[in-house]
Amino acid sequence: MEKVKFMKAERRVAVTGIGFRSPLGNNLTELKDSLFNNRSGIRIIPEWENMENLDTRVAGICANINEMLIERKYRRSMGRISILAALSCMDAIADSGIENALIESQECGVSFGSTAGSSDAMQNFIEQIITQQSLKGLQSSTYLKFMSHTCASNIAMMFRVKGPVIASCTACTSGSQGIGFGYEAIQRGNANIMLTGGAEEMHIMDAAIFDIMHATSTKYNDQPDLTPRPFDSKRDGLVVGEGGGCLILEEFKHAKKRGAKIYAEVIGYGNTCDGSHLTNPNPDGMLAAMKQSLKDAELSPDDIGHLNAHATATEAGDIAESKATYTLFKDKVPVTAFKGYMGHTLGACGALESIITINMMNDGYIASTRNLTEPDPECAPINHVTGEVRDSGFSIGMNNNFAFGGINTSLIFKKI
């Protein structure tokens, strides 16, 4: 049978709603103010002093989280990770102006990611079993808080979604895959609306995982605003963070027909695997994801006006990413790494950094990479944005994220 060629232009994908919780604020006004004022979302975590052999003491924390905005019947199966996700989706749906009847129809689906479920809920569950050797008092709803697809499932139940539900659990690309898979679902015609993004909650377990790998920042425990330092010669590791981000994706004609506000169009998505090592990044895999995204968007490297770098402020990651980026763009494209402001928000970073990309594109500015004062000479000489916020009229932006497992993603957004 002859294969029918898919015509991409028939199913364009718009971003029609944005909502988030982040260490830099919980709405676009607060976020932009933080970027313009070079404000850090990194804080000292005093209780981590009690953990023997844990060397890092800082993290990116969300403030002013009002979980009471969520009805109890939904909240009781949510850990903090799902609460951050649900609050983000509430704001994004309200922002989109989509009626409840559409959200609750088969036209709407969910594509949402996280590194795992609620670490706090998992700790409470396991501690009782191990320390007390008893199931007495354990609630069945606790599992629903820490199951790997807790964000996607709780969002689907809370908003009575009837369409496809996709849960991406790929560490630091969970949020970007959430967006990418939602984009593909609309392109294929599986849905007209997708609630997409990712979330992460802060827990000492996250810090411990990277601390054991000697990948965390430890030299700036008393000066949290000086770390992390993406691409900088004085960087000493990543800082874990938390947050949630939701982008409402909608089939373009569907959005136009209802008179929706359109923030941007998703025009490219690349998703590759290094196939070489679980933790050591490979520039070839990163490069392949960017090329795939450009091919999907039918663009050349010269068309990209800004690039958000994943840039965790680890030596291996920054060097590999800079080489992959330079191979494709040389020093022509302005590059910013936003983890210098809010840390590595893990499963949420793909969504939060996509939201920042869209906001900069629409509001005509490019924020600098915070704490980048002296680029590491071991990194390739890409075009870093440093110092003050730049005025810019770029209309196409790329957001890259990379994860353990050698998983690479690249998203391209276009201004409308």
Tokens describing residue 36: 């313009």
What angle in degrees, to the nearest 10, is found between the helix axes of 283-297 and 315-329?
40
Q: Which residue has the tokens 């763009």?
A: 329
246 vs 194: CA distance, rounded Å? 10
- 142 Cβ partners below 8 Å, 6+ apart? 121, 124, 125
* Cβ proximity of 368 and 274 under 8 Å: no
65 vs 87: CA distance, rounded Å? 9
Of 120, 161, 349, 149, nearest to 245 by C-alpha is 349
111 vs 278: CA distance, rounded Å? 24
> Edge-to-edge strand order for the sheet containing 193-200?
165-168, 108-114, 193-200, 243-251, 13-21, 264-273, 407-414, 396-403, 306-308, 334-336, 383-384
- 369 Cβ partners below 8 Å, 6+ apart? 230, 231, 311, 335, 336, 337, 338, 340, 384, 385, 386
- 394 Cβ partners below 8 Å, 6+ apart? 305, 306, 334, 360, 361, 366, 415
* Cβ proximity of 198 and 351 under 8 Å: yes
Q: E strands, 12-80, where?
A: 13-21, 42-44, 58-60
* Cβ proximity of 350 and 178 under 8 Å: yes
Residues known to be catalytic: 172, 310, 344
239 vs 60: CA distance, rounded Å? 7
Q: Cα 70 from chain centroid? A: 22
- 210 Cβ partners below 8 Å, 6+ apart? 56, 216, 237, 238, 240
Cα torsion 92, 347, 25, 30: sign: negative
Torsion angle in degrees (nearest 10) through CA of 300, 304, 310, 316: 50
